[in-house]
Amino acid sequence: MKKKILKGTGLLVLLLVINLISSYCFIRVDLTSEKRYTLSDQSCKLVKSLDKPLKVILYLNGDLNPAFDRLRTSVNDMLDELSVYSTHGIILQNINPSAAPDEKSRQEHYLRMNNKGMRGLSVNERDREGKLSSKVIFPWAELIYNGDTIQVSLLKKNMNLTPQEVLNTSAGELEYNITEGLRVLTITNPDRIAFIEGHGEWSEPYVYEATNLLSKYYNVDRGQLSGNPEELLPYKVLIIASPKKAFTEKEKFALDQYLMNGGRILWLVDGIKISLQDFDGTGESSTLKQDVNLDDMLFTYGVRINPVTVQDMQCTAIRLASSKDGSKEAFTTLPWYFAPLINPSAENIITRNISSLKSEFVSTISFVGNSQLKKQVLLSTSPNAHTLRVPEKVSLRYVEMPADESYFNEPNIPVAGLIEGEFPSAFINQLTPDSCTELPQGRLQQSKNTRIIVVATGSIIKNEWKGQGDEAQPMPLGYDEVSGEQLGNADFVTNAVNYLAENEQWLNLRSHNYKLRLLKKQAINENRGFYEFINIATPPLLLLIAGFLFSRHRKKKQR
């Protein structure tokens, strides 16, 4: 009896000691192979910095299929992990947009969601009898902090992936998507970036969506180059989006010295130009080199934009009028080889896990010169591409051409690249252009460690407009109206600028890859009865075995 009391007292003391230690030492152990429950240091630091509670409204609710139910579980797990590090906690509110008393109320709720930018997803499912049913789900969440609200997409569409791979990628990017939304809500002193004007670059309406996206993170300006590089130094990143007119030497000097001082530039420069007047009138146009007087600069920085036009078997479609049936005009959808779906590289955090990009009249790049610079391809064509050299014509007649692999025989041609390192000045051994102003520290011959991104088309940052006059609305950046697909243009532009602005630590969160350990559907259907029997019979059988062993053990002790 005394031994039992001592043993019990010792156990109680041990539990008290463990509890005391745990109250002072915060320890969490993640036993999953892919570290599903391990948050990055920057996420923990961000959540700890919140001085008010964070409210999360989760719309991924209702009668979900197993795949989306797993995604919802992953979201709840992620919020649980984040709440552990939050001083003021996370308030979670679950809303099912489809749970309305009648159809009218449900459609009104859907419309309110859509007006906020949270579009529903129609999911078609078949039951065991093969009957098809459809439901609308909303894989979205709203983060509300300090009176501000932001919508966060929980499902990242990617046309290059299967539906199951999309769910896997979406689960892996939850930390990135949620903390990225929270970061936008908590930015208090944003960096400045600028679109360069004065050379026929895309006007504000055509970069409306890109500006809107980037303004979540930065103060976005527009301005012309004066020849004084010091005026550019307050800007973290400069964006040159599809110039049509030549840069003067004075303007080039300002850009060069800005880069030498550690500035970053996103160059979106077309390699060719066509006559839109000829193309709209006759359906074809000769191509000419787009000479904006930047070739020598870019060559010095290690890249060349080639004056060619890409055709690609992997492309978007074009609608052409085919005939008129009375007063109704009929249209035919045909592949438009001059509008490639550009493939993102899986080897770089800027382009990892994003969908192909929409583009049109694309040229190519080549890395040249300085071997000391680090160069990486970011975007490339599909394995089945072809290039036309100037002055070969761009023509609608190509839509009638069959997709012949013997013609589309140029694989994976680089279209965009990242270059990092210490750049030589493009003005070494040259006089300073007239009326230029040097930096206070004098003219620099070599840059600090910096980075640029060069894209051989300006089309990827351009958004289309729908409607006319006061009813005109901008289309989402990268949206393909013919297929209804949302492509990866917005992700690429945002990631590229964030990387140039040295915010790549957040992009690293996109590299998580969770395994969805799915059951084989064929095996389930073939052996459904067996699996049901095992799941129903096993628990009571285990209880019977445990009871039998416990009873036998007691009888032995009584003997």
pLDDT digits (tens, 9 = 90+) for 416-444: 999 999 999 999 988 888 778 777 788 89
Question: pTM for the complete prediction?
Answer: 0.81
Domain end (from 184, 212, 245): 184
Please indicate, yes or no, whether residues 64 and 136 belong to a single structural domain of this protein: yes
Residue 6 counted as domain residue = no
Task: Name the residue type at position 134.
Answer: S
pLDDT band at 176 (very low <50, low <70, confident <90, very high): confident
Averaged pLDDT for residues 111-138: 79
Whole-number average pLDDT of the chain: 86
32 pLDDT higher than 60: no
Contact 68/139 with Cβ under 8 angstroms? yes
Question: Which amino acid is residue 455, in one-letter code?
Answer: V
Q: Does the structure show a pLDDT above 90 at 367?
A: yes
In a domain, 534, yes or no: no
170 and 193 in a common domain: no
Q: How far apart are CA 207 and CA 199, in angstroms?
A: 15
Residue ranges of E strands in 138-283: 140-145, 148-153, 191-197, 218-224, 235-241, 264-268, 272-274
Residue after which a domain boundary falls, among 151, 169, 184: 184
Last residue of one domain, picked from the residues 160, 184, 208: 184
C-alpha of 150 from chain center? 17
Sign of torsion, CA 446 450 456 459?
negative
Residues 46 and 95 placed together within one structural domain of the fold = yes
Is 239 a domain residue?
yes
With residue 282 as reference, give the H or E element that holds it: helix 276-282
Q: Would you say residue 516 has pLDDT above 70? A: no
Q: At residue 66, what are phi and psi to the nearest 5 degrees?
A: -55, -35
**Is 121 in the same domain as 207?**
no
Evaluate whether residue 516 is within a structural domain.
Answer: no
Question: Distance between the two ends of the chain, CA-based, in angstroms?
Answer: 20
CATH number at residue 158: 3.40.30
Q: Are residues 219 and 294 in the same domain?
A: yes
pLDDT reported for residue 35: 53
Does residue 503 belong to any structural domain of this protein?
yes
Residues 198 and 110 in one domain: no
Distance CA 100, CA 112 (A): 13
Q: Are 207 and 343 found together in one domain?
A: yes
Look at residue 67 and tell me whether its pLDDT is greater than 90.
no
In angstroms, rounded to a whole number, what is the distance separating the alpha carbons of residues 78 and 179?
Answer: 10
Share of the chain above pLDDT 70, in %: 87
Between 176-190, 412-426, 524-538, the lowest mean confidence (pLDDT) is in: 524-538
Q: Are residues 99 and 180 in the same domain?
A: yes
Q: Distance of alpha carbon 136 from its chain centroid, rounded?
A: 24
Say yes or no: 141 and 255 in one domain.
Answer: no
Residue 291 falls inside a structural domain: yes
Co-location of 199 and 176 in the same domain: no
Is residue 522 over pLDDT 70?
Answer: no
* Residue span of the structural domain in which 90 resides: 38-184
Average pLDDT (328-356) is 90
| Total domains in the fold of the chain | 2
Tell me, yes or no, whether 70 lies in a domain: yes
CA atoms within 13 A on the CB side of 326: 1
Asked if residue 173 lies in contact with residue 353, where contact means CB atoms within 8 angstroms, the answer is yes
pLDDT reading at 209 higher than 70: yes
In terms of domains, do 122 and 206 share one?
A: no
328 & 253 share domain: yes
**Higher model confidence: residue 527 or residue 444?**
444
